[in-house]
Structure 1
Amino acid sequence: MTWKEWKEAYGLNGFCLKVIAVLTMLTDHTAAIFLTPGAAYVNLRIIGRIAFPIFCFLLAEGAIYTHSLKRYALRLFAFALISEIPFDLAFHKTVWYPSSQNVFFTLLLSVLVLWFYQWTYRRRQIILAVPAAVAAMALAEWIHSDYGAMGICMVLLFYFLRDLPWWKYLLIGGFFAFTWWGLLQIYALLAFPLFLFYNRERGPAFNKYVFYGFYPVHLLILWGISCIL
């Protein structure tokens, strides 16, 4: 059995990666909201670093397979708005905290860059996509969306390097290892071995809005528990 055949039979599909991302995100947010810095806090947040690269990876895959990037962007925009109050309550204990925006805004900006790239590609004006990408990254930093410009950069690398062989993950991982130093961020590289097992299958049919909705709902639940405690 070849490696390709093994992945098709036993590899990770998109549904499996989403479940891993959701569980590791829940682990990360639970530690961030309930624990104080210490061994348990650090270990759980290390596990949590796995989530975001998976979301970026799946977003890049989704941008390739979706029938409409415009509708994709509208969904992300809707959930960015829905999630902002739960995000602020959970992490900043207030209904409105303008100095930090939830991760859906970063994902939304990433999809808008890809949509504009595809638009310029069809018109043979790809050069216009470069300043658009830079502007999106600057906007992400300006509004302080989760992961900011580096988050957008990660999505773009997954998208444009998709058809390279397995060593593309060394390139992407190496790039972030040398440019994305910060509190625990280096541990995001733990997600990259999972992509080697991805078989490009969607997996079991499952309502996508469940995964979208999990983000604001779990933040509200964690915030509610923190208020009780």
Structure 2
Amino acid sequence: MSSLEQKNLRVLNRDVIKYIATFTMVLNHIGIVFLMPGTFLRELLVDIGYFTAPVMCYFLVEGYYHTHSRIRYAGRLLLFAVLAQIPYTLVFQTTVLNMLFTLFFCFLLLEVKARIQSPFFRWTGYLILIFLTGFCDWPTMAAVYTLLFAYAYGSDKKMWRAFLISWVVFAFMMFTGNMLYYSPGMTVLVTAGSVLGAVPAAVVLMCFYNGKRAARGKTFSKWFFYLFYPLHLLAIWGIAMCFFL
């Protein structure tokens, strides 16, 4: 494919891709909350939702390098993480921290990478923060995405390699988890479905993303993505209460 053909494919801006990722996240949550485990539709919706994490981590890295204030960026993540925790706990009935906390810890990974020069202390910081994501939604894998994308940032070749590595790591993690619940053949099938849910994220970002924000509604989109997370969780909880009480 020529460079001109590749350029012509880049028709999606950052906000459109984030709206798509938000939609796939909602599908994932609907599948988890409302559908029975093991059913085809539930597995399909959950797998579609695996599009979200790499997209959000990719844009976290991009945002880190382009934001006017990293302190305000981190503050927004932490504020809305706190606001979303009660709705998240109500919906999923868990003590796990929500994904905005995960993104906050991933933001700190980028700070460690940028500010700590000593390899020993830098990797110590990485390990501590990766460990902390283990108490959150998107455990460990979001940190892997963030570090891979950060080290590949600015090079399409390195970024494709980062996505490939992330698929291998993700497949391994899913396989080891699935083998506790499924037969060997079903474990391979379910794991393949999970990875296929993540692959479109790379295709969209690397082939269709034009590197721009939406020309209009920038402020609306900026706050929509923060506000939508706790609000959609409250909506899901309200609907679940109507169905299950």
TM-score range, shorter chain: 0.7 to 0.9
Distance (Å, rounded) in 1 between the aligned partners of 2:153 and 2:22: 23
Change (3 A) 1:20 1:7: farther
Name the structure 2 match of 1:224.
Answer: 238
Matches within 5 A, 1:181-220: 181=175, 182=177, 185-186=194-195, 187-197=197-207, 198-204=209-215, 205-206=217-218, 207=220, 208-220=222-234
Q: CA deviation at 1:19?
A: 0.9
**Unaligned stretches of 5+ residues in structure 2:** 179-190
Name the structure 2 match of 1:26.
Answer: 26
Change (3 A) 1:199 1:4: farther
**Unaligned stretches of 5+ residues in structure 1:** none
Matches within 5 A, 1:1-229: 2-3=2-3, 6-7=6-7, 10-37=10-37, 38-92=39-93, 97-98=94-95, 100-120=96-116, 124-125=117-118, 127-141=120-134, 144-166=135-157, 167-168=160-161, 169-181=163-175, 182=177, 185-186=194-195, 187-197=197-207, 198-204=209-215, 205-206=217-218, 207=220, 208-229=222-243
Distance (Å, rounded) in 2 between the aligned partners of 1:39 and 1:172: 25
Amino acid at match of 1:136: L
Distance (Å, rounded) in 1 between the aligned partners of 2:151 and 2:174: 19
- Structural RMSD (CA): 2.2
TM-score, L = length of structure 2: 0.81
Amino acid at match of 1:81: V
The number of residue pairs the alignment matches comes to 219
Q: Could you list the per-position Cα deviations for residues 23-43 of structure 1 after superposition, in whole angstroms to 9, with x for gaps in the alignment?
A: 101111111111112111111
Q: Could you list the per-position Cα deviations for residues 31-82 of structure 1 after superposition, in whole angstroms to 9, with x for gaps in the alignment?
A: 1111112111111111111111111111111111112222211111001100
Distance (Å, rounded) in 2 between the aligned partners of 1:65 and 1:74: 16
Q: CA deviation at 1:203?
A: 2.3
Distance (Å, rounded) in 1 between the aligned partners of 2:103 and 2:231: 18
Q: CA deviation at 1:16?
A: 1.5
| Richer in helix (by share) | 2
Q: CA deviation at 1:153?
A: 1.6
TM-score, L = length of structure 1: 0.86
What percentage of aligned pairs have identical amino acids?
32
Change (3 A) 1:149 1:225: same
Q: CA deviation at 1:179?
A: 4.4
Q: CA deviation at 1:135?
A: 0.8
8 Å Cα contact 1:8-1:199 kept in structure 2: no
Distance (Å, rounded) in 2 between the aligned partners of 1:170 and 1:149: 17
